[in-house]
Amino acid sequence: MKKFDLEKALAGEPILTRDHQKGYVKFTIEENSKIKKLVGIVHNGCLTEVEEWLPSGDVLSDDITPNDIIGMWEEPPPTVTLTLPCPLKELEEGQKFWRITMNSDPLGIAWAKVDVGMSVFDKENVYHLALLEAGLAFKSEEDAQAWFDAMRDARR
């Protein structure tokens, strides 16, 4: 969280209240060249309230209130919500499954590409067990490809 900065708030940057609402300091009320009060608005869901704060950002000097300014507003990071098929939790010996893997070059120097491939489960194969544990084993090629595409396409 960014610390409350009165100068930035007066320049129009949004503030963050104690109850995590977005607001704006619009102007100050001054007396003898000293800031007495800050005046602004707070967006509480569908309601916009006019609010007064002390220069510290507190509404009251002797109590905590939901509209106290606790910092500068930061936009939430972008997110993606997808519905994807579930990876497999368990496999039986000899069962076919599809996996997302990174294939290295023949000399093992660099990763060449990430792709979807098919394997036959071997419970003694630590690589197969690691894929299963990591959630990278799928029932079908389409399921694995859907996850691969989602990871590739959801980048910022």
Q: Strands 69-72 and 111-120, how do they pair?
A: unpaired
Strand ranges of the sheet holding 69-72, from the earlier edge strand across to the other edge: 47-53, 34-44, 22-31, 15-17, 69-72
106: left (phi over 0), alpha (psi -120 to 50) or beta: alpha
Segment 122-150, tens digit of pLDDT: 999 999 999 999 999 999 999 999 999 99
Instruction: Report pLDDT for 151.
Output: 87
Domain-by-domain residue ranges, the chain?
2-72, 95-154
Among residues 53, 30, 31, which one has the least CA distance to residue 40?
53
Which of the four pLDDT bands, split at 50, 70 and 90, describes residue 24?
A: very high
Q: What is the pLDDT of residues 60-119, one digit of tens each?
A: 999 999 999 999 999 988 888 889 999 999 999 999 999 998 776 666 666 667 889 999
